[in-house]
Structures are given as structure tokens and as C-alpha cells.
Structure 1
Amino acid sequence: MPETRPVYLPPDPLTPERDITHHHFRPGEHVVILKGAAGGELWGDAMKVVADSWHTPTDEDGWRLLDPNGGDRSYITAHPRYLVHLSKRCPECLMHQKALREYLVKRLGDDDEAVDCSWYSLTALNQLVHVADARPGR
């Protein structure tokens, strides 16, 4: 991943409204959590779906993900609506990517410098939460 500069845009309005069922993703699939843009393209963190898990910050089911790069946060839990398929051409995920790319490029332009929109945070329990989904006090 390129070095990123943080940008604080209003919360992404598309992802929190995305209606993805828990069964959309399967263990073993490769996904990406889209976090920003660089050069007019989206970038994010690539992960592998490991298993389903309870997602307490939003009281909704999430997925347990493995970061193939390891590190302090090798495993996180994320809500399915935060994920986009990498391992298969999924029409819904492709439409979401296109809409998110159009939303970001209008605001950020097509500068080559990678921009992290700072829409996600990790809780102390390694649960990924989108700023629009975080409950007060989290």
C-alpha cells in the first residue's frame, strides 16, 4: 500500500446504506475494505474471510477477517456491508465500487497521492466500525 495522507471527508454515505446479507460472503473468499483513493482508483485493505462472528458495535453479524500481512491486528471483525469481493466478479460489489469511485473522485480528484478518508476505526476488540455506524461512546 502506498503511503497515505489522511483526509477527513464527511462520512461515506454509500456504505452504511448498503444492504448486504450475511450470506453474501463465504469463508475463504478474498475481500477488500475500501478506505480511500489514489490516481482516480480506489484502494483499501485486502483480507481473507475466515468465519462469521458477532459484531457488537452495531449489534449485527459480521465476518472474521484475516490480514495476510499479519501484524498486531491479524484478525478483525467487519460488517458485510464494509466488504467488497476481490476473489470473484460480483455484480453487486462491482456496482458499489463504481458508485464509491465516482463519489470519491469528484471530491478528491485523480491525484496520484493515496488518500485515506478515515471512515473506519478499530475498537479495542479488533472490530472495524464505519464512522456512520458507530454508536455514541464507541
Structure 2
Amino acid sequence: MAQPARPPYVPADTLTPQRDMSHAHFRPGDQVVILKGVAEGELWGDAMTVVAPSWHTPTDEDGWRLRNPNGGEQTFITAHPRYLVHLSRRCPDCLIHLRALENHLTPKVDSTDTVIDCGWYSTTALNQLVHTADARDGR
């Protein structure tokens, strides 16, 4: 996949912050994706493996420690369950969320070959993934 570009207009992901996903929905070993943008008219993101329960400091809620199988600077991160979508199984809740995001966001982004990172997430100094709508005090 090409290096992600930043679009001149970044569509807001207003659905994920409102998603009510319990910690118990995911289990160690689950394959998940964190959706980050649009490529060729489809959503794309980072595929990871759920490793262990972990406190998610940016939201002060139960989160999951995730492992990026490709390694890199952030091989392990902590994320809130509402940021995750199952890859390893056909999960109705995750499929409904995925479809809602596709319907809401992809029409707002040019569907060229460009890989677009919409900048919905950042990573804190503690390797905690945080959605822009969940960021506190600029973190």
C-alpha cells in the first residue's frame, strides 16, 4: 500500500466515539482492524492482534493491549474496544459499524488510487491509541 496522504478536507469520524462496545466483546487472540482512512473508495486500517486486557488512560476505561504483527516503532499499543473491528470472525456488531462508517465516510473522500489517512487517531507517549474525539488536554 502506498504512503497515506492527508486530504484537504478530512471527514470527521463521528460514529466511532459514540460506539458502545464492551470490553468483553474482544478476546485475546482476536484479529482486529483499527480503521484509519479510505483507499480506492474503501476503508482501510491497521490489522492487529488482541493480546491482553489493559487500562486505556485517555478514556479511563477498560482497553486492550494490541500487537502489530509487522512490528515497527509501535509494536504494542493500547486501544479502547470501540476503536476495534473484528477481522478474525464475522461479527454482526462489527459488520454493522463497518457498514455505517463506509456509508458515512467514503462518499466524502475522493475515490482515487490515493491512500488517505484521515487522522482520526494519535498515539500518546504511553503508546495508547486515542481517537481525536476522546483526546483530553491536547493528548
Give the shorter-chain TM-score range.
over 0.9
2:74 alignment counterpart:
73
Partner of 2:113: 112
Matches of 1:36 and 1:2, distance apart in 2: 13
Amino acid at match of 1:123: T
**Hey, what does 2:20 align to over in structure 1?**
19
The TM-score, its normalising length taken from structure 2, stands at: 0.95
TM-superposed CA distance for 1:136, in Å, is 1.9
1:3-29 CA distances to partner (integer Å, 9 max, x unpaired)?
210135253100000000000000001
Whether 2:100 is the aligned partner of 1:99: answer yes
Q: Equivalents in 1 of 2:80, 2:43: separation in Å?
A: 19
Q: Is the 8 A contact 1:11 1:131 kept in 2?
A: no
1:1-138 paired onto structure 2 within 5 Å = 1-7=1-7, 9-138=10-139
Contact 2:120 2:132 in 1 (8 A): yes
Q: Percent identity?
A: 66
Name structure 1 gaps, 5 residues minimum: none
For residues 38 and 30 of structure 1, what CA distance do their matches in structure 2 show? 21
Q: Which amino acid aligns with 2:135?
A: A
With normalisation by structure 1, the TM-score equals 0.95
Q: Provide Cα deviations, 1:32-53, integer angstroms capped at 9, x if missing partner.
A: 0000011111100000000010
CA–CA distance in structure 1, aligned partners of residues 138 and 41 of structure 2? 35
User: RMSD over aligned Cα, in angstroms?
Assistant: 1.1
Residue deviations 1:69-108 (CA, integer Å, cap 9, x gap):
0112100000000000000000111111111111121110
SS of the residue corresponding to residue 104 of structure 1 reads helix
**Cα displacement (A) at 1:109:** 3.3
For structure 2, the residue ranges without an aligned partner over 5 or more in a row are none
